[in-house]
Chain A
Amino acid sequence: MKKYMKLILIITFVIALTANTSPVDAQDKLQKNPGGYHGEMDFPISWKRYYNYAEWTDIMHKLQKQYSHLADIESIGKSRMGRDQFLLTITAKSTGDHSEKSAMWVDGAIHGNEVNGIMCSLYLAWYLLTRYDYDQYVHDMVNNHTFYILPGLNVDANESFVAYPNTPHNPREPYRPEDNDGDGLYDEDQTEDVDGDGELSIMYMEDPMGEYKLSHDKRRFVPVDDPGETVLRFRRIGSEGFDNDGDGRINEDDIGGPDPNRNFPYGWNLQAGWPYPMSEPECRNVYEFQRTHSNIFASFHYHNTGRLIMFQAPPPDRSVNMNAEQRRQYRERIDNQRAELQKTNKYAQLYDRIVSEDYQMDMDVQTAIVTGGARILKNYRPVIGGLSGQAHAGTYYMLGVYSYLMELWGSPAFEADQDGDGRVTDEEYVIWCDTELTGEGWIDPHIIDHPDLGKIWIGGTRKKHTQRTPPARYIEMETLKNAQFVMYCVSEFPKVEIDEVKVTPATDDLYWIDVSVKNDRIYPTSSDRAVQLKIAVKDKIVFGSSGNISQLEITDGKSQIDPGNFHSTALSAGSKETEFRLKSKDKQWIRYLVKMDGSSGWVEFSVESKYGGKASKRINLSVSN
């Protein structure tokens, strides 16, 4: 009479060998006091000014030199005018090669004038490196993940914007020559600093029929409000510059070609992204790097301005047809649901985009991530990003990488709007410049002799770094919280773990072994988009055992562990390697049937995920009567 029904099974959990959490070097400098020193003076740098190309690339080189165990520097290619596009690769070299760890891509200032992005991405690099020894959170993150940081993408225009007089809006594009005015000449009529004050403002001409007059404080040009008014009147000429080509127009063919953020391959179209996808070396170098580094899991792109988190959402489900009324009702329902959610969490987000079942998880993941972002960044608004050749469209739609476009800063509109009407008038700006910027930042109207126009007036506008890009004193205000949002995203990168192992005697010397693997993070081990593109790499569990234990062949597929419980389905593993996919905050049971000869032995389960890392667990089995 066999007594297997009475067998007592002793299971010993021996090893929990998870690759992701083993501090390699002792952290002597670990700082647990929030009021204590966190390493910022180990590499002193001012975050209260803008740097030109020579300066910020020099900072990159020096950072790499000082933290060479954590950082590498390389040029991913050259711009049209031959400047190197330098990239910092940050990860603890002692814990493995950068290419083996799931990675975050961060770039800034694809639009030449949006140099706030250079500061933000540079700050992130500095924050990670200086805090590595002091901050447990940063320490673990730099051990387990890779950051690819390209502070300035559009380096030619970046340099021009910082180092030369410019309006807040130019130069934006890479320097491909373009004939904007159709006269057959290329980039022949650019902006110039006519009065030599280092700023580009607006030119006005005295004109008895003009629409403008000086304001009472003589600091602004304001519309004439009474036709009979007898005041000195002005006509607006436009932004400061000369008529270089003598065609009677000024600044009508400024430097630069296509919008670089319409030059990426997904949703590219000729009119916006001329002349062809990836025509600009600055963009192509970035995309080629991303394409050939498949460990990149998410991607950040810094822009100015508007305080937006633009995230790349999955495509709308085209099979859903709603008429206008249905759509209105649907939106209303979503608005109500969001309002309900925001009663308990004012940062909660919910979107009215209907996506197919294949993409629902990506939609949910992005909603959850930007909810976290809204909390960290406070006054930033998460919105769905566009689909016509933007960098983030390319990364998500063509590479399956979660992507975000950050519109940094928000002009001082939030601060300067005195009367709370949601608009900032010139008058309010003057007050803002005088108060917050203590007099810095406003160009008063002044007279100058113009070689093409004669006597003109210039002024009545703000200076360069008071609009799209924040004044120097506010730079760090943006950089810190944006670095925190990037790190928050990385902290939610997938991580596979072996959760539980259950052993159930089946019959005689056969045992069911049920293993659960989980990913507690918001991000899944592969995006829905990667699955749709058929480039997703599945997670995998490998069975190993002592010689006396053998795995029995059972049909691969789904089975139910507990017949009474619907939710207890498991993958039946009939072979050594079983593939699965862990979604966002997901758990998966895998069921094995094993045969053990003798009274003791061990089984080992190793999990491997392209982005979720590795984990393994060994179980000792011993049988006694």
Chain B
Amino acid sequence: MKQFKPVYGLYFLIAVFLIFGAAPSSIAQKVPISFEEYHGYDGTVKYLKSVSSAYKNITELLEIGKSTNGRTIYVLVITNMAKGTTIDRHVNLRNNRRENVQNVTPMKKYHGKPGHWIDGGTHGNEYTGTEVCLYSIDKLVSGYGNDPELTRLIDDNVFYICPIVNPDGVYNSVERGLSQRQNSMDVDDDKDGRINEDGPDDLNGDGHITQFRYKNPEGRYVLDEDDPRVMIRLGRDEETDKERYSVIREDKDNDNDGKRGEDSERGIDLNRNYPEGWFNDENEKSGSGYYATSAPETRTIVEFFTNNTNIYMVQSFHTSGGFTFRPFARWPDSKIDAKDLAIYDKVMGKKYLELLGEEIPAAWLGEGSNAPGQERAIPARMRRTSQSGPQQTNRQVARRTGQSSTQPRGWRHPYNDQRGRPYGYGIFMDWAFAQFGAYSMSTELWNQAKDLEGIPDVTGENARNEVAKAVLKYQDDHYNGELFIPWQKYTHPELGEGEIGGWIPQYRGNAWPGEPLRKVCDLHWNFELFKAGLLPKVEITEANAEVLYNSSSASEATATVDGDNVNIKKGRSTGDYKIVEVTATIENNGKLQTHVAGGERLAGNRQDAVWLIGDRDKITYLSGTPFMKLGVLDGTMEIPGISRQTEATQVRQPRRRMRMPMGMPVYMMRMFQQQRGNDLNQVTRKGNKAEVKWLIAVEDNTPIKVVVTSQKGGTQVKELSYSNSGRR
């Protein structure tokens, strides 16, 4: 009997784990995950590797770059790997240049699907976001094949999840307990010839870098009377008759230069190192780093986006505050198109506030004050936010969009309307929206006072202190006091007598492991699920190849006009052929349109496009060209306050750029211009639907197919068979 004991024990552990550890777990969870402790960098990597090997058919683990200290930045791709297609699989190239430079890598199948990006850990000490990423991964992979909605989302879309953007920062914060917001950099901050030689220290060797408090008549802190663990910060000129203290990070002067912690590994704030608005108006440097994307971590992310232009939803998780920022941090709302504003606030913001359980502004609930057609499109030049342009005040924007400029607590933009001042320069969210063309946002996860149950909702002078005490009490009651180290006497080599103690840095600003963390994860996973449901989905809903005429002798003929006479000259016969009319109906059956407003005009982006492809030697295009542009297809969703297109429009096709010959006579120039101005009416678009037609001459029964390719709405192919409907 004895030898079975461990087995029972193991069963018991698994049972406990299934019931408590990973609740709510599902049967498909091949890789169990627990949120009883933070994963940190190593734990995250281990989990990602396990998931990617357990779910080979729906995941791929990418190593997209390296941090300063050589740690890999990972992206877990989640999508049905077997499903999907890309345009480069259908167009056969021929007669290629002999030089044959191999600079283009073949596309992955998932590049033909709308992309949803989720990241965490841009700031090393904000790893609650990492946990939300891991939670979302777990939900996605274990839900696939079980939950029909999740299965559809994973079949049709691709999720790119990057739990740790800043590996060195997260590693130093979680594994080493150093709380490092920035990336790591090999820079000699104090210019003493040595690099990173004076960071913070674990003075008392308890394994944590907490705080050191010491009595100091100049100090800004006093002890709380009820709970002397709590330090009360005094106002600038506040008088007190209590003993004054100073509080510093647990640290000493390691290089004997009279300064503490002046040359740590700490580098730059990565979320100020992106290209959007990195310069301020005076063209002086304002973001972080030597130039925008100078940090290896930032460059890795931007490069990855550049090579995955199908990304359309972008969520960046930060900590803390318990609210979500939507763009812009750098610019006022006047830089955002009315439609984008409505999608952000009245669609996404409304949902987020619902999830938070906060009040939704009245203006977002109805159709808005705009009658259809009343909203004014924003001029293209104003959208180009990298350059300074005319800016409207937010009051003007409010008038234009019919919404109030006061922002709800849980959903806001960082730009300071009251002072007309940017929140920051070179911010990822701004870049992803303004330059990349994705709906991006940045969530500050975790709000101790709101997310821990029973913390008093107090206001007034002592609110901060009351909350601090309640939180400490909560920790005593629910965590056995394990998150806070009681103050213990310590003699500092430079500052003398004092005490070391305080919050273990890992738990200071992040969602507490266990129930509180799971709650935060679950709420935000639900928000991601909602946003994934908004992605566009471009499909060929109908396509026909109708044979209009059959002939046994195709001829090349020319016709010349000579006054009232037309002379037709027939050429040589080329065999059996059909005249075929191909029609296709392309629809976007996703909720949102295929680009943010004006997104198709951003460098690197393009309009939706359709190809009619077959054997080039057997097809002659009589009307229409093999590849045509569709513009931007609307989504199925009614955007509150935004009118839908009511008239069908012809989509202009790109004209051939022809060079005028030098010294051309005027009459020739007119002729030339007339030829150039030959607009074709092959594509008609209305709302989320486009009708396309071609007239082609086909030899034999050569197969043809229609391929629609939308940068952010997906790529789809439909093989055609010839029908003789007898219509003509």
Question: CB-CB contacts of B65-83 with A at 8 A, as 1s and 0s?
Answer: 0000000000000000000
Residues on A with C-beta less than 8 A from B609 are 182-184
Q: Are B101 and A211 in contact (CB under 8 A)?
A: no
**B217 on the A face (CB < 8 A):** no
Q: A436: shortest Cβ distance to chain B, in Å?
A: 21
Chain A residues in 8 Å Cβ range of B473: none
Cβ A160 vs Cβ B662 within 8 A: no
In whole angstroms, what is the CA distance A267 to B387 when docked? 9
Residue pair A188, B302 in contact (C-beta under 8 Å): no
User: What are 20 A-B interface contacts by the 8 Å CB criterion?
Assistant: A80-B103, A164-B98, A177-B105, A184-B606, A186-B104, A188-B93, A193-B98, A224-B668, A246-B613, A265-B290, A265-B292, A269-B386, A269-B387, A276-B299, A277-B278, A277-B292, A278-B299, A291-B290, A315-B283, A426-B662
Contacts of B303 in A (CB 8 A): 275-276, 279
Number of A interface residues at 8 Å Cβ cutoff, please give it.
63
Question: Whole-angstrom distance between the alpha carbons of A244 and B99 in the complex?
Answer: 14
Q: Does B292 lie within 8 Å of A276, measured CB to CB? A: yes
Min C-beta distance of B557 to chain A, whole Å: 13
Contact B386 A247 (CB under 8 A): no
List A contacts of B715 (CB < 8 A).
184
List 5 additional A-B contacts (Cβ < 8 Å) besides A236-B658, A246-B94.
A182-B654, A245-B91, A268-B386, A275-B306, A278-B294
Contact of A192 among B97, B558, B627 (CB under 8 A): B97
Judging by beta carbons under 8 Å apart, are B664 and A211 in contact?
Answer: yes
B91 to A, closest residue via Cβ: A245
User: Which residue of the partner chain, among A160, A238, A265, A426, contacts B101 with CB atoms under 8 Å?
Assistant: A160
Chain B nearest Cβ from A17, distance in angstroms: 27
Select from chain A the residue with minimum beta-carbon distance to B602: A270
Q: Which parts of A257-274 form the interface with B (CB within 8 Å)?
A: 265-271, 274
**What's the nearest-Cβ distance from chain A to residue B286, in Å?**
13
Q: What is the minimal beta-carbon distance from B657 to any residue of chain A, in angstroms? A: 9
Partner of A270, one of B95, B386, B664: B386
The answer, yes or no, to whether B672 is at the interface (CB within 8 Å) is: yes
| B292 and A175 within 8 A (CB) | no
Is A248 among interface residues, defined by CB-CB distance under 8 A? yes
Q: Which of A426-475 contact B (CB under 8 A)?
A: 426, 451-452
Within 665-681 of B, Cβ neighbours of A (below 8 Å) are at: 665, 667-668, 671-672
Q: Does A190 lie within 8 Å of B661, measured CB to CB?
A: no
Residues of B within 8 A of A287 (CB): 291
B560 proximal to A (CB < 8 A): yes
State A231–B159 Cα separation when bound (angstroms). 63
Judge whether B99 and A183 touch: CB under 8 Å.
no
Task: Scan B189-202; emit 1 where CB is below 8 A from any A CB, else 0.
Answer: 00000000000000
- Name which residue of chain A comes closest to B94, CB basis: A244
The interface residues of chain A lying within 8 Å CB-to-CB of B664 are 211, 223
Q: Which residue of A lies closest to B386 (CB)?
A: A269
Minimum C-beta distance from A41 to chain B (A): 36
Provide the residues of chain B in CB contact with A211, threshold 8 Å. Answer: 661, 664, 668, 671-672
Taking Cβ atoms with an 8 Å cutoff, the residues of B that contact A are 86-88, 91-99, 101-105, 275, 278, 283, 285, 290-294, 299, 302-303, 306, 384, 386-387, 435, 558, 560, 602-604, 606-607, 609, 611, 613, 616, 621, 625-627, 629, 654, 656, 658-659, 661-665, 667-668, 671-672, 709, 711, 715
User: Quick one: which of B103, B285, B386, B661 contacts A176, CB cutoff 8 A?
Assistant: B103
Question: A393: shortest Cβ distance to chain B, in Å?
Answer: 10
Set B101, B306, B654, B662: member contacting A181, Cβ < 8 A: B654
Classify the interface of chain A: helix, strand, loop or mixed. Answer: loop
Q: Which residues of B contact A268 (CB under 8 A)?
A: 275, 292, 386
Residue on B nearest A394 in the bound complex, by CB: B291
With an 8 A cutoff between CB atoms, is A135 at the interface? no
**Known contacts A279-B303, A291-B290; is-contact A183 B611 (Cβ 8 Å):** yes
For the A-B complex, the count of residue pairs with Cβ-Cβ distances under 8 Å equals 167
Report if A267-B283 is in contact (Cβ < 8 Å); known contacts: A164-B99, A278-B294.
yes
Q: Which A residues lie within 8 Å of B104 (CB)?
A: 177, 186-188
Q: Collect the chain B residues with CB atoms within 8 Å of residue A397's CB.
A: 283
Q: Give the residue name and chain of the B residue nearest to A292 (CB).
A: B290
In the assembly, what is the distance between CA of A242 and CA of B94, in Å?
A: 8
Please name the 6 residue pairs, one residue from A and one from B, whose CB atoms are nearest each other, closest first: A265-B291, A274-B603, A182-B606, A242-B95, A184-B87, A175-B103
Q: Is A212 an interface residue (CB 8 A)?
A: yes
Q: Are B661 and A255 in contact (CB under 8 A)?
A: no
| Cβ-defined contact, B283 with A279, below 8 A | no
Q: Nearest Cβ in chain A — how far from B328, in angstroms?
A: 15
Nearest chain B CB to A557's CB is how many angstroms away? 28
Contacts of A178 in B (CB 8 A): 604
CB distance from B620 to the nearest CB of A (A): 10
Q: Residue among A176, A211, A278 with the most chain B CB within 10 A?
A: A211
Q: Is the CB of B668 within 8 A of A248?
A: no
| Nearest neighbor of B293 in chain A, beta-carbon distance | A276
Answer yes or no: A249 CB below 8 A from chain B CBs: yes
Taking a contact as CB atoms closer than 8 A, the residue among B384, B560, B627, B671 that contacts A183 in the complex is: B627
Quick one: which of B283, B302, B627, B672 has the most chain A CB within 10 A? B627
Tell me if A185 counts as interface (CB < 8 A to partner B).
yes
Cβ contact of B667, chosen from A184, A188, A227, cutoff 8 A: A227
CA distance A175 to B103 in the complex (A): 6
A410 to B293, CA, bound (A): 37
- Which A residues are CB-close (under 8 A) to B299? 276, 278
A566, chain B: closest CB distance, angstroms: 36
Q: Which residue of A lies closest to B621 (CB)?
A: A248
Q: Measured between alpha carbons, how far is A186 from B604 in the docked complex, in Å?
A: 11
Q: Shortest distance in angstroms between A205's beta carbon and chain B's nearest beta carbon?
A: 13
Question: Does A608 have its Cβ within 8 Å of any Cβ on chain B?
Answer: no
Using a CB-CB cutoff of 8 Å, which residues 223-251 of chain A contact chain B? 223-225, 227, 236, 238, 242, 244-249
A177: B residues at CB distance < 8 A: 103-105
Residues in A with CB closer than 8 Å to B625 are 247-248
Report the minimal beta-carbon distance from B105 to chain A, rounded to whole angstroms.
8
Q: Is A191 an interface residue (CB 8 A)?
A: yes
Q: In the complex, what's the smallest C-beta–C-beta distance from B285 to chain A, in angstroms?
A: 7
Smallest Cβ-Cβ distance to A208: which chain B residue? B560
A360 at the interface (CB under 8 A from B): no
In angstroms, Cα B658 to Cα A464, docked, is 21
Distance of A274 Cα from B285 Cα, bound (Å): 20
Within 8 A of B (CB), among A357-400: 397-398
Hey, what's the 0/1 contact readout for A159-202 against B, CB within 8 Å counting as 1?
01000100000000001111101111111101111000000000
List residues of chain B with CB within 8 A of the CB of A255.
97, 101, 103
B603 lies within 8 A of A246 (CB): no
Q: Which residue of B lies closest to A258 (CB)?
A: B603
Contacts of A81 in B (CB 8 A): 101-103
Bound form: Cα–Cα A397–B284 in Å = 9
A321-337 Cβ-contact flags toward B at 8 Å (1 or 0): 00000000000000000
Task: Kindly state whether residue A156 has any CB partner on chain B within 8 Å.
Answer: yes
Bound-complex Cα distance A451 to B94 (A): 10
Give the complex CA separation of A186 and B303 in angstroms.
Answer: 16
* Inter-subunit contact A182/B607 (CB<8 Å): yes
A425 within 8 A of B: yes
